[in-house]
Amino acid sequence: VREDELLGHIAARSADLSARYPRVIVGPGDDAAVVRTPAGGELLITTDQLIEGRHFTPGTAIDLIARKAVARSVSDIAAMGGLPVWALATAILPDGYAHADALFDAMAKWAKRWNCPLVGGDIAGSPGPLALSVTVAGEMPPGASPILRSGARAGDAIGVSGPLGGSLASGRHLTFEPRLDIAAVLASRRGEVRAAMDLSDGLGIDADRMARASGVVIEIEAGAIPLAASSEPGLSWLDACRDGEDYELLVALAPGTRFEGVTIVGTCRERRAGEPAHAAIVEPGGARHAGGSLGWDHQSHAQPRDR
Amino acid sequence: VREDELLGHIAARSADLSARYPRVIVGPGDDAAVVRTPAGGELLITTDQLIEGRHFTPGTAIDLIARKAVARSVSDIAAMGGLPVWALATAILPDGYAHADALFDAMAKWAKRWNCPLVGGDIAGSPGPLALSVTVAGEMPPGASPILRSGARAGDAIGVSGPLGGSLASGRHLTFEPRLDIAAVLASRRGEVRAAMDLSDGLGIDADRMARASGVVIEIEAGAIPLAASSEPGLSWLDACRDGEDYELLVALAPGTRFEGVTIVGTCRERRAGEPAHAAIVEPGGARHAGGSLGWDHQSHAQPRDR
């Protein structure tokens, strides 16, 4: 099963949840779900997993494993414009694993670092690889509504919050800082921000997901994509689009809007007759690449590509 | 690492959370955490895992795997006296797993069955065994406060919500009904209910946990324990105490209080000088067994005991 096919199945089966369950405001398919709390407020909620051999290599320092496990879910809260408030964690520990206390301490430390203390969790043993999941809840700043990935409209500018590419090769995927800083700014000027998501699988596939969720076409100029400083010579727009694990924010901004720290890389337009919603990367010479054919599908690769 | 040692470490490191984080009302160590929501309400939140070869045997029907994964976390919400309202799920699928859609559909079905629709989740591939986690949020009925495991007091009666023992051998661990019915009754008469938890690891070890959380001694009469009807001849009080996976509720009731559906199996008394908080099972002849030495530690056994 390819990850996107399964996610499509889940989204289709979940489409009626908010109509049938009054607590559900936004169900599966965005960076985080949005639920209504008993007293009438809104809560963001997301979960993500980290598996040895899939999201980090054996031998990675415990502190970095813990950091990435927490940071991935915090990044999802940032992508909604939210602030983390608490977290849960689960761990599957290989039989005989000797570092459980240290792993918990590191996860608790990083969770506090991003203001979402671990309030609960579960531990189980298994012959399999080390696997963690972290669930993070978030709140929107007063007066702001969650920023969905489905809000992009024709005429919007498409921007990214930082340089992309080479995250796995450089080790940055273990040390990235979730973009809570930019998220707070986006939330404070919510009327100018149409859509947001975090870049976990690569600008190509993630922009395609935003385009499909929004029912528009996103066109990204290859030459406008900011490239991460890297020891790899020749990091190109293609690496930036397909490496994944950047955890920068991808945003759609209302026409004329600009934010410090957000680099504009493209635009959003209406679909033409018969044209599906999609993202395309356009080279300076005019060559077009389907965004959905780039990027990294965690489900279908045993290892990241440089790997 | 034995599960209880690690849980003790986590509880010790988490003791100051509610003082430092205003959103945290009850942190790690109970059946569910209790958090304060933005608008001032309370939310229960819990997570549990289900791993092939550990919590179910290979070849178990997908529907039953999904059912148990959801039911375990719903049972934790019931143990607080709460009502489930939404859920998240994660899945680690063995590479090449062909039943992902069916597994999701079954989990979604059971989540709706207990009124906690799946609002989000994550999927990853792995060479390891199939592993699921389900996070469930719950709410207390209006006016009721969560029932903690730490509230038992000397003089309380100790009761269980149903017959115990033989759950794994009989297959009941796959088909149990989380005790939301009893939970609702307990919540409606909250002043008479001192403490509650669900019986996942066996009456012996779980009663010991309640005793230690409450700082009291719990004494259970072996002859008073209701035994599950079973095709196994000779199911004894010892099986009922150590088999685990019952998912009945263990409750401490204020003196003189009785509830339909709750069988009284023991009492709660103060510690004597130098005596640690603990639970003991007392045979009709007077022989005492430490509750903490019975029951099943998921972490330290490769397989359930009948196995």
Least confident of A3-7, A170-174, B14-18: A3-7
Question: Which of B55, B88, B115 is facing A47, going by the closest CB pair?
Answer: B88
The pair phi, psi for residue A45, each rounded to 5°, is -145, 135
The 10 Å Cβ neighbour count of residue A1 is 18
Return d(Cα B223, Cα B205) in angstroms, integer: 18
Count chain A–chain B contacts defined by CB atoms under 8 A: 236
Residues 6+ apart with CB under 8 A from A217: A211, A268, A269, A270, A271, A272, A275, A277, A278, A279, A280
- Residue A55's nearest CA partner among B46, B90, B299, B57 is B90
Question: Closest-CA residue in chain B for A73?
Answer: B122
In the predicted structure, residue B301 carries a pLDDT above the cut 60: no
Q: Dump pLDDT digits (tens) for A44-90.
A: 999 999 999 999 999 999 999 999 999 999 999 999 999 999 999 99
B14 contact residues in A (CB cutoff 8 A):
108, 117-119
Q: In what order do the strands lie in the sheet with A131-139?
A: A24-26, A33-36, A42-51, A131-139, A83-94, A118-126
| Contact flag A119-B298 (C-beta cutoff 8 Å) | no
Residue contact A1–B51, C-beta within 8 A: no
Q: Please give the Cα distance from B294 to B297 (Å, whole number).
A: 9
| Chain A residues near residue B24 by CB distance under 8 angstroms | 86, 117, 119
Q: Which two tokens stand for residue B286?
A: 């007077």
Nearest-CB residue to B51 (from A45, A48, A124):
A124
Other C-beta atoms within 10 Å of A17: how many? 21
A199, A248 contact by CB (below 8 A): yes
pLDDT tens for B205-260 read 999 999 999 999 999 999 999 999 865 677 899 999 999 999 999 999 999 999 99
Specify the pTM.
0.94
Question: Mutate which of B3, B9, B49 to test chain A, going by most A C-beta atoms within 10 A?
Answer: B49
Closest-approach residue (CA) in chain B for A139: B38
Chain B residues with beta carbon closer than 8 angstroms to that of A133 = 47, 90, 122, 133
At A231 the pLDDT is 56
Residue A61: its H or E element: none
Tokens 């609002």, residue?
B119
Is the model's pLDDT at A1 over the cut of 70?
no
CA pair distance B272, B69, nearest whole angstrom = 41
pLDDT tens sequence across B97-112: 999 999 999 999 999 9
Q: Which of B23, B37, B45 sits opposite A38 (nearest CB)?
A: B37
Nearest to B46 among A48, A120, A302 (CB): A120
